[in-house]
Protein backbone atom coordinates (compact mmCIF):
# COMPACT_ATOMS: atom_id res chain seq x y z
CA UNK A 1 0.00 0.00 0.00
CA UNK A 2 2.91 2.33 0.70
CA UNK A 3 3.90 2.82 -3.00
CA UNK A 4 0.24 3.60 -3.75
CA UNK A 5 0.31 6.32 -1.13
CA UNK A 6 3.50 7.81 -2.54
CA UNK A 7 2.16 7.56 -6.11
CA UNK A 8 -1.02 9.38 -5.19
CA UNK A 9 0.93 12.18 -3.52
CA UNK A 10 3.24 12.53 -6.55
CA UNK A 11 0.19 12.57 -8.87
CA UNK A 12 -1.33 15.27 -6.78
CA UNK A 13 1.80 17.38 -6.62
CA UNK A 14 2.18 17.16 -10.43
CA UNK A 15 -0.91 19.32 -10.74
CA UNK A 16 1.00 22.27 -9.31
CA UNK A 17 2.50 22.85 -12.72
CA UNK A 18 -0.82 24.36 -13.73
CA UNK A 19 -2.42 27.70 -13.11
CA UNK A 20 -1.51 30.73 -11.02
CA UNK A 21 -2.95 31.97 -7.80
CA UNK A 22 -6.19 33.92 -7.79
CA UNK A 23 -7.28 35.80 -4.69
CA UNK A 24 -10.13 33.70 -3.24
CA UNK A 25 -13.50 35.23 -2.49
CA UNK A 26 -14.50 35.71 1.15
CA UNK A 27 -16.93 37.89 3.16
CA UNK A 28 -15.39 39.74 6.12
CA UNK A 29 -16.66 42.29 8.64
CA UNK A 30 -15.32 45.84 8.61
CA UNK A 31 -14.85 48.11 11.64
CA UNK A 32 -18.14 49.81 10.76
CA UNK A 33 -20.07 46.54 11.24
CA UNK A 34 -20.67 46.21 7.47
CA UNK A 35 -19.84 43.05 5.51
CA UNK A 36 -17.24 43.42 2.73
CA UNK A 37 -16.35 40.95 0.02
CA UNK A 38 -12.71 40.27 -0.69
CA UNK A 39 -11.90 41.01 -3.47
CA UNK A 40 -15.31 41.90 -4.93
CA UNK A 41 -15.42 45.20 -3.03
CA UNK A 42 -11.75 45.90 -3.77
CA UNK A 43 -11.41 45.25 -7.46
CA UNK A 44 -10.56 48.51 -9.24
CA UNK A 45 -8.82 47.34 -12.46
CA UNK A 46 -5.01 47.61 -12.35
CA UNK A 47 -5.03 49.03 -8.81
CA UNK A 48 -2.49 47.57 -6.39
CA UNK A 49 -3.83 46.22 -3.10
CA UNK A 50 -1.47 45.41 -0.24
CA UNK A 51 -3.14 42.89 2.08
CA UNK A 52 -1.49 42.47 5.45
CA UNK A 53 -2.63 39.69 7.81
CA UNK A 54 -2.05 40.69 11.44
CA UNK A 55 -3.31 40.31 15.03
CA UNK A 56 -3.36 42.50 18.14
CA UNK A 57 -1.16 39.91 19.92
CA UNK A 58 1.46 39.67 17.16
CA UNK A 59 4.39 41.99 17.96
CA UNK A 60 6.14 41.80 14.54
CA UNK A 61 2.79 42.42 12.78
CA UNK A 62 2.32 45.62 14.75
CA UNK A 63 5.89 46.79 14.13
CA UNK A 64 5.38 46.20 10.40
CA UNK A 65 2.04 48.04 10.28
CA UNK A 66 3.42 50.92 12.38
CA UNK A 67 6.32 51.14 9.93
CA UNK A 68 3.87 51.20 6.99
CA UNK A 69 1.76 53.78 8.82
CA UNK A 70 4.83 55.97 9.13
CA UNK A 71 5.73 55.84 5.43
CA UNK A 72 2.16 55.58 4.07
CA UNK A 73 1.72 59.21 2.99
CA UNK A 74 5.16 59.28 1.39
CA UNK A 75 4.58 55.98 -0.48
CA UNK A 76 1.16 57.03 -1.75
CA UNK A 77 2.86 59.93 -3.57
CA UNK A 78 5.12 57.42 -5.36
CA UNK A 79 2.67 54.54 -6.00
CA UNK A 80 -1.11 54.59 -5.83
CA UNK A 81 -2.17 51.58 -3.73
CA UNK A 82 -4.71 50.57 -1.07
CA UNK A 83 -3.62 48.90 2.17
CA UNK A 84 -6.05 46.41 3.68
CA UNK A 85 -5.07 45.09 7.11
CA UNK A 86 -6.91 41.82 7.81
CA UNK A 87 -7.05 41.04 11.53
CA UNK A 88 -7.02 37.31 12.34
CA UNK A 89 -7.84 37.99 16.01
CA UNK A 90 -10.37 35.39 17.14
CA UNK A 91 -13.12 35.78 19.73
CA UNK A 92 -10.54 36.23 22.51
CA UNK A 93 -9.12 39.49 21.22
CA UNK A 94 -11.44 40.46 18.34
CA UNK A 95 -13.30 42.89 20.62
CA UNK A 96 -10.08 44.91 21.11
CA UNK A 97 -9.52 45.44 17.38
CA UNK A 98 -11.67 48.58 16.89
CA UNK A 99 -10.15 50.49 19.81
CA UNK A 100 -6.67 49.17 19.09
CA UNK A 101 -6.69 50.38 15.48
CA UNK A 102 -8.15 53.79 16.30
CA UNK A 103 -5.73 54.15 19.21
CA UNK A 104 -2.87 53.59 16.78
CA UNK A 105 -4.35 56.05 14.31
CA UNK A 106 -3.93 53.65 11.36
CA UNK A 107 -5.53 54.99 8.19
CA UNK A 108 -5.79 51.54 6.52
CA UNK A 109 -8.93 49.61 5.66
CA UNK A 110 -9.39 47.07 8.47
CA UNK A 111 -11.26 43.79 7.99
CA UNK A 112 -11.83 41.03 10.55
CA UNK A 113 -11.20 37.36 9.65
CA UNK A 114 -12.45 36.12 13.03
CA UNK A 115 -12.52 32.38 12.25
CA UNK A 116 -9.55 32.65 9.86
CA UNK A 117 -11.55 31.64 6.79
CA UNK A 118 -9.63 33.84 4.34
CA UNK A 119 -6.32 32.99 6.03
CA UNK A 120 -7.09 29.28 5.64
CA UNK A 121 -8.20 29.62 2.02
CA UNK A 122 -4.86 31.24 1.23
CA UNK A 123 -2.96 28.48 3.02
CA UNK A 124 -1.41 31.00 5.43
CA UNK A 125 0.07 29.37 8.53
CA UNK A 126 1.40 32.33 10.50
CA UNK A 127 1.13 36.10 10.71
CA UNK A 128 2.44 38.54 9.67
CA UNK A 129 1.83 37.59 6.05
CA UNK A 130 1.71 40.22 3.32
CA UNK A 131 0.31 39.95 -0.20
CA UNK A 132 0.16 42.30 -3.17
CA UNK A 133 -2.92 41.74 -5.31
CA UNK A 134 -3.57 43.21 -8.75
CA UNK A 135 -6.60 42.36 -10.86
CA UNK A 136 -7.51 39.70 -8.25
CA UNK A 137 -4.18 37.89 -8.80
CA UNK A 138 -1.57 37.51 -6.08
CA UNK A 139 1.63 38.90 -7.53
CA UNK A 140 3.78 38.95 -4.38
CA UNK A 141 3.78 37.34 -0.92
CA UNK A 142 6.03 37.29 2.09
CA UNK A 143 5.73 35.79 5.53
CA UNK A 144 7.26 37.02 8.80
CA UNK A 145 8.70 40.48 9.35
CA UNK A 146 12.20 41.77 9.85
CA UNK A 147 13.10 45.44 9.74
CA UNK A 148 13.74 46.43 6.13
CA UNK A 149 11.12 44.10 4.58
CA UNK A 150 9.11 47.20 3.69
CA UNK A 151 11.84 48.25 1.24
CA UNK A 152 11.24 45.09 -0.82
CA UNK A 153 7.49 45.80 -0.62
CA UNK A 154 7.92 49.32 -2.02
CA UNK A 155 10.24 48.06 -4.78
CA UNK A 156 7.61 45.46 -5.76
CA UNK A 157 4.82 48.05 -5.75
CA UNK A 158 6.87 50.31 -8.02
CA UNK A 159 7.63 47.37 -10.35
CA UNK A 160 3.95 46.52 -10.82
CA UNK A 161 2.44 50.03 -10.85
CA UNK A 162 0.46 50.82 -13.98
Partner 1 sequence: MIYSFLPKLNLLILSQLILVSISYAQGNEKKGTWVGSLESNSQYYFEDKSRMVVPPDQPFRSNTYLSIQYNLRSWTAGLQLESYLPNAILNMNPQYKGVGLGTAYINYKAKKADYTLGYFYDQFGSGLIFRAWEDRSLGINNAILGARIRYNPTPFLHLTTLGGRQRSGFTLSKGMLAGLNAELEVFPLIHKSNGSLTIGFSYFGRYESTYIADPNFKLLTNSFSERINYTKNNFFASVELVQKSNDAVINNLVSINNDFIKPGSAFLANMGYSKNGKGLNLVWRRLENMNFMSEREPTIYGFEQSGLNYNDKILNYVPAINKQHTYSLSNIYVFQAQKLVSIDPFANIGKAGEIGGMIDFFYDIKKGTKVGGKHGTKIELAMSSYYNLAGSYTLYPPDYSTSWITTGQEYFSDYSLEITKKFNSSLNGNLEFVKQSFNNRLITGAARVKIETSIISTRWWIKTGTKSSTKISFEHMWASSDRKNWVEGMIEYNFNGHFSAYASDMYNYGYDPDGDLIDHITDPFDIHFYSFGGTYKKGTFRATLNVGRQRGGLVCTGGICRYVPPSTGVGLSVIKVF
Q: Report the residue from 6, 25, 46, 76 that binds partner 1 according to the rule CB under 8 A.
A: 25
Positive/negative CA dihedral, 113, 116, 119, 121: negative
Is there binding between residue 78 and partner 1 (CB under 8 A)? no
Is there binding between residue 102 and partner 1 (CB under 8 A)? yes
Residue 145 CB burial class (10 angstroms; 0-12, 13-18, ≥19) = buried
Cβ distance to partner 1 smaller for residue 35 or 78: 35
Return d(Cα 90, Cα 95) in angstroms, integer: 9
Beta strands in the chain, from DSSP E residues, in sequence order: 26-30, 35-38, 48-54, 81-87, 109-112, 129-134, 137-143
Is there binding between residue 73 and partner 1 (CB under 8 A)? no
Is there binding between residue 77 and partner 1 (CB under 8 A)? no
Which residues of this chain interact with partner 1, rule CB under 8 A?
1, 4-5, 8-9, 11-12, 15-16, 18-22, 24-25, 31-35, 56-59, 62-63, 66, 70, 90-96, 98-105, 114-117, 120-126, 129, 141-144, 146-149, 151-152
Amino acid sequence: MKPLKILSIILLCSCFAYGQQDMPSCKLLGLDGETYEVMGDFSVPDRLYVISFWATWCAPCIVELEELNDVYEEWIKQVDFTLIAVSVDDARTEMRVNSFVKGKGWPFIILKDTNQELKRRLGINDVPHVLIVKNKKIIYAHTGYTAGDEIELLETLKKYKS
